[in-house]
Structure 1
Amino acid sequence: MQGNAPTPDTQVADAASGNWVDRWAPAFSRPYLRLSRADRPIGTWLLLLPCWWGLALAMLAGQDARWEDLWIFVACGLGAFLMRGAGCTWNDITDRHIDGKVARTRSRPIPSGAVSVKGALAWMVIQSLLGFAILLTFHRAAIALGVLSLLLVTIYPFAKRFTWWPQVFLGLAFNWGALLAWAAHAGGLGWPPILLYVAGISWTLFYDTIYAHQDAEDDALIGVKSTARLFGAETVRWLKYFLVITVSLMGLAIILALMPKASVLALALALVGPWAMGWHMAWQLRGFDHTDGAKMLQLFRANRDTGLIPLIFFGIALFV
């Protein structure tokens, strides 16, 4: 593993060829940006989209879009980039010995020797402080939720050591933004954001089980647990369950949020979102092949579009 330590210009194995970090970032910054997964932006999208769902649904529920919502929208993007980077850095610190034993991850900055553990810790703190500075611009309820989310981020890397369902812990952390962004707009919570949050967790179980199939064989050899290993040949059946749960709970969240104030047309348009999202998830199932790692990565990355679909319809519903 350490015999061929990469230079700062060595691309991480599962990063897309020609990504912006490899092409344009200064050489000294590349190992740290790779540590933050900046060369693999799909994770930032998957963290950000539930935030935008929560904000859009809160605006639809209150029928009170405000100029400050534009800042919440932008701040969610900045915060998702920073906190996803901090979370990935923490994940790689805790997983450095495991990553060195897995073909897909041994080229990551820490196990490859491109970044030291001390350097990674310092980089994690910098990203976290910048993210906290952005959080402080939100409503007090959202700030409190942001602080609470750190507990989930801290626990997640260890979940695969003690449960077959680490994807649940990822879902709890990655969809927290649905609650936070709703609270940033509305100043509190209610059943709609909670249902939206659980729908997002189910969606995470869907896409991260697909993702985990890339490493199922290596995980079995080193004793790391995942839903991919747990479901095995029954994975498609379980993914269908997650699809139904995601669409159903998001639809219920929309109904509860919009029924009091929104028009029938706005409600109908918003409900098209989870319906179309479900069809996109069904399309992924038709291409599922757990023996094809490249295909699993392709389907996983397609979930950016999956999550954008309901957001588009929420946005349209805001203008009717």
Structure 2
Amino acid sequence: MTVQLAPAPRQAHRKRTPPQRRMARFDLRGVPYLLVSPYFLLFAIFGLFPLGYTLWLSLHDWELAGDKSFTGLANYTELIVDAEFWNAVFNTVGIFVLSTIPQIVLALLLANALNKRLRGRLLLRLGVLLPLVTSVVAVAVIFSGLFARDYGLFNWMLGLVGVEPIAWQNEKWSSWIAIATMIDWRWTGYNAIILLAAMQTIPKDLYEAAALDGASARVQFWKITIPMLRPTIVFVVFISTIGGLTLFTEPVMFEGNPQMTGGTTGQYQTVAMFVVEAAFRNYEMGYASAAAWLLFVLILIGTAANYWFTRRIGGSR
């Protein structure tokens, strides 16, 4: 007679992960978030908080050293009918168009030239960055002298061909050209280096195959280089849009005084100058905050429009 013993009750054993596996899993999943967390923390302090605080200020009638009262959207409705604000918007967009379009075109051509086999390529590539390391104040002072009415170099050159001297600061179109020239001289080389770095990642086999098919250098540039550079061109256009629509230092130094008026009739006052004038000369912090938020909306619109346009470069749909 055999006696069968009842099976022992199963005990639920919880699988314990060894410490080494837990650390490996944390290294794989947790460390990346830990490493990028300082950036998001700093962005929250110096980015999101100022945005939220500026939005809150824009809803108040707030003097810099006075009383404050909640007014809702009154600052925005007042800005919409403010002729000086729209003049600043018009100036900003005009200078942006005059500076950005030639800047991107020249940067593309310059990057394509620096990508060729040239003697002293390293020195040439370093040379295009010299304007960037130059103080923007020094650049503005030098160009203000170049565009001077009586003793400026550009008026002297115009005089050689029989053109009357131009008072560059007095007219809207001439001041725009002068400021756009300063911007292009300073930032074209920077954009060219970014585009050059992207050009060097394009496989050489594409150019060799195109050359075997009889494609000229111009055809290779439009059919290979430009389409392959599309993501980089989008990035360059983005940063140029943000920088162009927040233009401040060049027109202030071109004006030559801290009034922030952009000339006697505001002929080259930008939105950034309008914000500073409203905040620190007229002491209207709420009004200036509302103008800053409308500038933010303008940047979003300009960036979206440029993104839509640049996505179609090279036949993208």
> Would the TM-score normalized by the shorter structure come out above 0.5?
no
Q: Give me the TM-score of the superposition, normalised by structure 1.
A: 0.23
Q: Give me the TM-score of the superposition, normalised by structure 2.
A: 0.24
Larger gyration radius, structure 1 or structure 2: 2
> Which has more helix, going by share of residues?
1
